[in-house]
Amino acid sequence: MYRLFIVSLLVSLLVACTAPFGPAQIANNRQVYDDKVLYISHDYMISSGDQIEISYHIDVRKQDVYRIAVSDQVRIEFPHYPQFDRSLNVRPDGMITVPHLGDIEAFGFTPMELAAKIEEAYTPILRNPKCTVALVRYGESIRELKESIKTATRGQSRLALVQPDGRIAIPLIEPMRVAGMRVEEIQKEINDEYQKLVPGMFTSVTLINATGNRVYIMGAVKEPGYYQLQGPTTVTQAVAMAKGFMPNAVASDTLLITRDERNNAVGRLVDIENIFDTGNIGSDTLLRQADVIYVPTSRLGRAAIVGDTIRRLIPADLGLIYSVSESVNFIHSGD
């Protein structure tokens, strides 16, 4: 009991140094320390409530060839079969519909390549299926995109808020699920989607507001809740932000729930009592986004830190980051 009192006293002293910002009241009586400093680790994963900026860059240099894009209109003419002549719009799936044959893919082809493809398709049913393909209207996707972003106060860019379902809405493409992805992964996926619609256009993605850069502190601490990471933070510093232990806390069995390389939940026991007794800060552990700290009121056996116990301790709003498998691993303190 005396040892626990000393631990709580030291933690209380740390509070004065590590939590200079008063707690802001938020929903469900939880508290979060927050200032305007954006601290993001290299492996930060986008969360619901985050805001990203998508900047658009359109290559206006002369192209060696023009390839047909979605929303373009092409004119197909058959010198020997004028009844087959058509003006056709390229659909969002990249296809056009020609007489008697049905759908043919036009997206990504040059007009000459598309003409050769149509001639080949008609060969079984026409004696001399010679045709020409001309562009009637083109660049519609680029014009539509420019129109959708030209009113943005930030120039050729668009701010996107990650919705509770983990998706963002951006011009021309279907809502995209980005929660649980890193910024560079999102940029690649957005560019891949736009290349299907607007050849020569690419984007860059920047994280503007990271509300999901939090850790959760639960159990026998004085102020449980979630806290914004203000910089590199250890387990003991996080407990200090929560104003220290309750009198019945078992600090030696503090449970840290974190993620492995596949984002599966793993558990680690951190002996905070020993850290304070010995001064061995090397046994302390740096926290990552969405880590969960649980301080029990009784000792935890190994069986208590795998499987369902850990799954129940992971807050529901972390479901887009954690990928909880049937087997939850235990990490030894020395690992």
From the number of C-beta atoms within 10 Å of its C-beta (0-12, 13-18, 19+), residue 123 rates as: exposed
Q: What's residue 36's pLDDT?
A: 47
Q: Which CATH class is domain 72-137?
A: alpha beta
Percentage with pLDDT > 70 across the chain: 75
Domain 214-331 coded CATH 3.40.50.10440: no
Selection from 14, 5, 1, 35 nearest residue 239 by Cα: 14
Q: What's residue 331's pLDDT?
A: 59
What is the rounded average pLDDT for all residues in the chain? Answer: 79
Q: In the chain, which segments carry CATH 3.10.560.10? A: 214-331
Encode pLDDT of 283-302 as tens digits: 788 898 889 999 988 877 65
- Sign (positive or negative) of CA dihedral 254, 259, 260, 261: negative
Low-confidence ranges of the chain (pLDDT < 70): 1-39, 59-63, 150-155, 199, 301-309, 317, 319-320, 323-335
Selection from 142, 145, 174 nearest residue 158 by Cα: 145
Kindly report the pTM of this predicted structure: 0.61
Burial code (b: 16+ CB inside 10 Å, e: under 16) for 207-237 equals: beebebbbbbbbbbbbebbbbbbbeebbbbb
Burial code (b: 16+ CB inside 10 Å, e: under 16) for 27-49 equals: eeeebbbbeeeeeeeeebbbbbe
Cβ(169)–Cβ(175) below 8 Å: yes
Q: In the chain, which segments carry CATH 3.30.1950.10? A: 50-63+140-209, 72-137
Task: Enumerate helices (H) and strands (E) in the chain, giving the number of each.
Answer: 7, 18
Residue with tokens 């740096």: 286
Q: The domain 50-63+140-209: what is its CATH number?
A: 3.30.1950.10
What's at 60, amino acid-wise? V
